[in-house]
């Protein structure tokens, strides 16, 4: 399997985080690590395990071993300490280090870890070399406890549909942070921190499976191609923005009030004019069917916008000018997915995120406009005017991102990329 060029070797294989030397309170990356820090200080190992069981952990694997592993096999990096015991180290998501060309991290629930931990491991070290480190035995009785806690506490649905913001380690204000914010809808849906470039996602194997299953991306060349198409706004049908653009032209010429039939006529006239200029035949049933499809799309767009206004997604007199955000937002997340799968280098991920920022600011004037365009694109792609989960779930994301104090909509100025 092809991976990104190995041009970014560094020595951050594992997290190394020190507590403040002045005795001040440690600022953890997320609420989870802050909670674990408190439990570690009080020595409450059982409560600590319960918190880990809810979220799951990541364990290190050599990249070559990860790529060679068959389905159902789980290589894991372990270490022998001076007294002869073997340690397996795992980490919670907020403490994962910058991705490395030779080392990856895989995700496991505490229940799965009880089954796949290699034979001979004596100690499980959680968040070692950080202020919230804790150590656990790995005998059969202890693993039974892990499995019981997993069955009691782990519900994958409870890890999604939430705004997660890193308090430390995020890039400063600028195009990179703005580009990360462009993928916030998907970060909300997946329960991922929206503002981290230290991307591990669902773990190396999970990220490869994600882009393969959902996007047909199986290697670096595939990732480069789909990333370019998303950032070039070439994945969504071109005629969605063509129809919206016809109304935008009418608004520029005569004001906001545009009659639906006038809009339809403008779409058809513009399409026929372009066909004439390019020498495209308009004298066949296929072209007439396409014209009819675009005229009908006007009604669909108006009905979606009416629902958006009723649900607070659009202001009373606002319209959606472009669905560019649907591709741009997915391009922002695809940059990170490619990095997690090791199809993208760090530099390529950063460049893609900055391009997403530039494209978003060229098409929109605010996060609310961007979000409405994203939601409309998703609905046109999947919903078919059912106003079902394809709509309601992304509406939930929009409302949460608009109202949560530490969301990108509230903390990253749209025009300051």
Residue 267 has pLDDT above 60, yes or no: yes
Flag whether 26 is in a domain.
Answer: no
Judgement on whether residues 96 and 134 belong to the same structural domain of the protein = yes
Judgement on whether residues 120 and 36 belong to the same structural domain of the protein = yes
Distance from first CA to last CA of the chain, Å, rounded?
35
Distinct helix (H) and strand (E) counts, the chain: 17, 6
Judgement on whether residues 226 and 243 belong to the same structural domain of the protein = no
Judgement on whether residues 188 and 289 belong to the same structural domain of the protein = no
Residue 182 has pLDDT above 50, yes or no: yes
56: left (phi over 0), alpha (psi -120 to 50) or beta: left
Flag whether 170 is in a domain.
Answer: no
- Grade residue 4 by pLDDT with cuts at 50, 70 and 90: low
Flag whether 164 is in a domain.
Answer: no
Judgement on whether residues 363 and 262 belong to the same structural domain of the protein = no
* Domain boundary, last residue among 134, 159, 184: 159
Residue 22 has pLDDT above 90, yes or no: no
Judgement on whether residues 192 and 331 belong to the same structural domain of the protein = yes
Judgement on whether residues 277 and 335 belong to the same structural domain of the protein = no
- Grade residue 3 by pLDDT with cuts at 50, 70 and 90: low
Judgement on whether residues 42 and 91 belong to the same structural domain of the protein = yes
Residues facing 137 on adjacent strands: 123
pLDDT, average across residues 72-92:
96
Tell me the per-residue pLDDT of 374-412, one tens digit each, with 9 for 90 and over: 999 999 999 999 999 999 999 999 999 999 999 999 999
Q: How many domains does the chain have?
A: 3
pLDDT of residue 8: 80
Domain hosting 283: range is 238-299
Judgement on whether residues 344 and 246 belong to the same structural domain of the protein = no
Judgement on whether residues 217 and 247 belong to the same structural domain of the protein = no
Judgement on whether residues 134 and 102 belong to the same structural domain of the protein = yes
Q: Strands 123-126, 86-90: parallel, antiparallel or unpaired by DSSP?
A: parallel
CB burial readout 234-265, b (16+ within 10 A) else e: ebbeeebbebbbbbeebeeeeeeebeeeebbe
Judgement on whether residues 103 and 125 belong to the same structural domain of the protein = yes
């Amino acid at each position: 399997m092809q991976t990104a060029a190995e041009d970014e070797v560094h020595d951050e294989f594992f997290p190394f985080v020190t507590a403040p030397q002045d005795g001040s309170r440690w600022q953890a990356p997320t609420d989870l690590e802050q909670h674990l820090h408190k439990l570690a200080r009080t020595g409450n190992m059982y409560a600590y395990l319960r918190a880990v069981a809810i979220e799951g952990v990541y364990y290190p694997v050599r990249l070559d071993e990860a790529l060679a592993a068959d389905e159902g096999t789980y290589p894991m990096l372990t270490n022998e300490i001076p007294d002869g015991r073997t340690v397996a180290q795992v980490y919670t998501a907020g403490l994962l280090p910058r991705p490395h060309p030779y080392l990856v991290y895989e995700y496991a629930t505490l229940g799965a870890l009880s089954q796949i931990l290699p034979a001979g491991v004596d100690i499980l070290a959680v968040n070692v070399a950080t202020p919230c480190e804790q150590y656990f035995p790995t005998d059969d009785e202890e693993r039974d406890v892990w499995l019981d806690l997993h069955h009691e506490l782990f519900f994958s649905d409870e890890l999604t549909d939430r705004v997660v913001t890193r308090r430390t380690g995020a890039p400063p204000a600028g195009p990179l942070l703005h580009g990360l914010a462009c993928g916030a809808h998907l970060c909300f849906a997946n329960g991922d921190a929206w503002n981290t470039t230290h991307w591990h996602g669902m773990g190396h194997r999970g990220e490869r499976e994600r882009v393969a299953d959902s996007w047909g991306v199986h290697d670096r060349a595939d990732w480069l191609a789909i990333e370019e198409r998303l950032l070039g706004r070439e994945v969504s049908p071109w005629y969605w923005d063509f129809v919206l653009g016809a109304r935008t032209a009418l608004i520029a010429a005569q004001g906001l009030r545009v009659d639906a039939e006038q809009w339809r006529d403008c779409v058809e006239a513009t399409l026929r004019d372009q066909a004439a200029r390019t020498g495209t035949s308009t004298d066949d049933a296929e072209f007439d069917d396409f014209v009819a499809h675009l005229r009908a799309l006007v009604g669909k767009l108006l009905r979606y916008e009416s629902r958006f206004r009723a649900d607070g997604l659009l202001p009373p007199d606002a319209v959606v000018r472009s669905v560019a955000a649907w591709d741009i937002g997915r391009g922002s997340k695809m940059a990170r997915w490619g990095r997690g799968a090791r199809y993208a280098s760090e530099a390529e991920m950063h460049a893609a995120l900055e391009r997403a920022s530039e494209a978003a600011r060229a098409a929109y004037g605010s996060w609310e406009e961007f979000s409405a365009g994203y939601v409309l694109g998703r609905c046109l792609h999947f919903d078919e005017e059912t106003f079902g989960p394809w709509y309601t779930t992304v509406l939930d994301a929009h409302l949460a991102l608009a109202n949560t104090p530490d969301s990108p909509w509230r903390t990253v100025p749209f025009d300051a990329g």
